[in-house]
Amino acid sequence: MKGEPVSILLVEDNIDHAHLVMRKFKLFKIANKITHLEDGEAALEYLARSKSEHRFPHLILLDLRLPKIDGLEVLREIKTNPDLMEIPVVILTTSDAETDIARAYHLHANSYLVKPVDFDKFTELMDLLGFYWICWNKNPFHA
């Protein structure tokens, strides 16, 4: 990303999970800016402001079970908006229900990850996720 500050939008209502994600990403300098929002409505408002300012996040980490507007509806809004649809969206959730997985991919999620219950496995997942999406993956906004 050629020295450009890396920005992640984390939409997660579980504050403990959000703190762990943010701590791991900052510890390994995976992101310069992490914006944490706790509900789907706030996420859509944030993305509308991002659009008007032409400052899109490099990656969206999206939980499914959110207050106000659920994660699948947020995903639908992102992936049907021509200005936002190319932002990578990783579903990061506790749900391993086949219906949730199928619906997320049907709505064009870029990845679907189930949060491990085990703390060590969860932190390892955050390390791998960060390095893949931020360090190795190329996307059209920030190639």
Cβ–Cβ < 8 Å for 104, 112: yes
Q: Is residue 18 part of a domain?
A: yes
Q: Is residue 139 part of a domain?
A: no
Q: What is the CATH number of the domain that holds 43?
A: 3.40.50.2300
Q: Quick one: pLDDT at residue 4? A: 64
65 token code pair: 């079970």
Q: Is residue 80 part of a domain?
A: yes
Does residue 137 or residue 84 have the better pLDDT?
84
Q: Which of 57, 66, 65 is nearest to 110 (CA)?
A: 57
Q: Is residue 2 part of a domain?
A: no
Q: Quick one: pLDDT at residue 1? A: 43
Q: Is the pLDDT of residue 110 over 60?
A: yes
Q: Is the pLDDT of residue 27 over 50?
A: yes
Q: What is the mean pLDDT of the chain?
A: 86
Q: Is the pLDDT of residue 143 over 60?
A: no
Residue 72 has, within 13 A of its CA and on its CB side, a CA count of 11
Q: Is residue 93 part of a domain?
A: yes
Q: Is residue 141 part of a domain?
A: no
Cβ–Cβ < 8 Å for 6, 134: yes
Strand 89-93 versus strand 59-62 pairing type: parallel
What letter does residue 77 receive in the DSSP assignment?
H
pTM over 0.95: no
Q: Is residue 143 part of a domain?
A: no
Q: Which domain holds residue 25?
A: 7-134
Q: How many distinct structural domains can be found in the chain?
A: 1
Q: Is residue 142 part of a domain?
A: no
